[in-house]
Chains A and B, each alone.
Chain A
């Protein structure tokens, strides 16, 4: 199956979401397991291949 490229994930204010560049597009991603981007971010975090930066 195909992969989603995720770069520079960072939590938004109050950890209310994640800003990341996904397949070349900057997106705000909600913390919803049904959201395919969030699910893929967490899959890569769990695999140890991605780290989410803390919010400013």
Chain B
């Protein structure tokens, strides 16, 4: 091929490349935990986006995956206040939070003169209008930057675009733990809103939600939708990088995996049954960020060479690694044999492996 047929560097440098979006599940397509959850702080529904709050003593909520979404999107996550906080105390706050793994942010070059700006874009719809705070917190060095955005029309999808400067001081550790957090505030007491955080600074608490002026936890009419979340390098928001469901699903499973067999008695692992105990092995589909916390919801069914053992509740689950775990039981009387493990009631029983940040 003649050299003249090869694309010039200038063309390559101005192209909009893939893998721009640092956010996983920004279109809220994946909800392994279910389409609705009410547990308060933590991951309730859509993967990777959690509810966070501090000091609230009455507030209750639901977080759901919704089909209400702006043009070009099919899903959103919705926060709904189900029990109001009757008075917002100075130390109370609530937010939707996303957390990045530190090793995925090294190209931001934080802590150097080459620190890169990033641009956050997202679609929101809120029951209340006003000025909302959004902050980026860097936990390794306790650093923060924030901004505000205005929702002008209630119950209307609006896109917001905010550029944040790079932090030339704080260094994001090159590790598999937290690197940055983004907070979309729903409410913030006066202890968190008074200090300007519009440039990177040492976190002080009073700068956590600077400028946030809306209370979305004071009425059961309050709700807030979010989707189309993209964080990308540079000072320009490009079009949302849509990924396939399969791609987003696999990315989410690095942080959380629900092992469930869709109603079929499919084996999920193997088991060595002894006369007074049994020890199983359950591999994960995707290697986890770290060894995960593991929860069995329901019970196990051991299909053995010499007979089935039903309704087994393990003594515990140990030997947990990034690749799998070992449910075991140290009581009972069994016929020694090899078996495979399935769920006792495949339609509703499952194992959660949680390596979220």
**Beta-carbon contact of A13 and B320 below 8 Å:** no
A13-B315 CB under 8 A given contacts A27-B295, A34-B289, A35-B355:
yes
Residue in chain B with minimal CB distance to A38? B293
Q: How far is the CA of A14 from the CA of B175 in the complex (A)?
A: 29
Q: How far is the CA of A4 from the CA of B39 in the complex (A)?
A: 12
Residue in chain A with minimal CB distance to B176? A34
Residue in chain A with minimal CB distance to B317? A28
Q: Does A1 contact B (CB under 8 A)?
A: yes
Q: How far is the CA of A20 from the CA of B307 in the complex (A)?
A: 33
- Of A1, A14, A22, A30, which one neighbours B291 at CB under 8 angstroms? A30
B355 contacts across to A, CB distance below 8 A? 35
Q: How far is the CA of A13 from the CA of B318 in the complex (A)?
A: 8
A17-B316 CB under 8 A given contacts A27-B293, A27-B295:
yes
- Of A4, A13, A34, which one neighbours B177 at CB under 8 angstroms? A34
Q: How far is the CB of B155 from chain A (nearest CB, A)?
A: 28
Q: Report the tally of A-B residue pairs with Cβ distances under 8 A.
A: 73
A32-B290 CB under 8 A given contacts A12-B318, A17-B317, A26-B295:
yes
**Beta-carbon contact of B295 and A28 below 8 Å:** yes
Q: Does A54 contact B (CB under 8 A)?
A: no
A37 contacts across to B, CB distance below 8 A? 293, 354
Residue interface mask A30-46, B partner, CB < 8 A = 1: 10101111100000000
**Beta-carbon contact of A36 and B53 below 8 Å:** no
Q: How far is the CB of B192 from chain A (nearest CB, A)?
A: 11
**Secondary structure of the B side of the interface?**
loop
A26 contacts across to B, CB distance below 8 A? 295
Q: Does A24 contact B (CB under 8 A)?
A: yes
**Chain B 23-46 interface residues, beta-carbon cutoff 8 Å to A:** 39-42
Q: How far is the CA of A38 from the CA of B177 in the complex (A)?
A: 13
Residue interface mask B194-207, A partner, CB < 8 A = 1: 00000000000000
Residue in chain B with minimal CB distance to A17? B318
- Of A17, A25, A35, which one neighbours B295 at CB under 8 angstroms? A25
Q: How far is the CB of A36 from chain B (nearest CB, A)?
A: 6
Q: How far is the CA of A23 from the CA of B42 in the complex (A)?
A: 8
Q: How far is the CB of A47 from chain B (nearest CB, A)?
A: 17
- Of A2, A22, A24, which one neighbours B293 at CB under 8 angstroms? A22
Q: How far is the CA of A4 from the CA of B52 in the complex (A)?
A: 10
Q: How far is the CA of A27 from the CA of B319 in the complex (A)?
A: 14
A16-B318 CB under 8 A given contacts A23-B41, A26-B295, A27-B295:
yes
- Of A4, A13, A28, A34, which one neighbours B294 at CB under 8 angstroms? A28
Q: Does B292 contact A (CB under 8 A)?
A: yes
B321 contacts across to A, CB distance below 8 A? 30
**Beta-carbon contact of A2 and B41 below 8 Å:** yes
**Beta-carbon contact of A13 and B330 below 8 Å:** yes
Q: How far is the CA of A56 from the CA of B20 in the complex (A)?
A: 50
Residue in chain B with minimal CB distance to A31? B291
Residue in chain A with minimal CB distance to B50? A2
Q: How far is the CA of A26 from the CA of B317 in the complex (A)?
A: 11
A2-B319 CB under 8 A given contacts A34-B177, A36-B357:
no
Q: How far is the CB of A16 from chain B (nearest CB, A)?
A: 4
Q: Does B356 contact A (CB under 8 A)?
A: yes
Q: Does B100 contact A (CB under 8 A)?
A: no
Give the interface of B toward A (CB within 8 A): 39-42, 52-54, 175-177, 289-295, 315-321, 325, 328, 330, 354-357
Interface pairs A-B: 8 shortest CB-CB: A34-B290, A30-B291, A28-B317, A16-B318, A30-B320, A32-B291, A12-B316, A17-B318
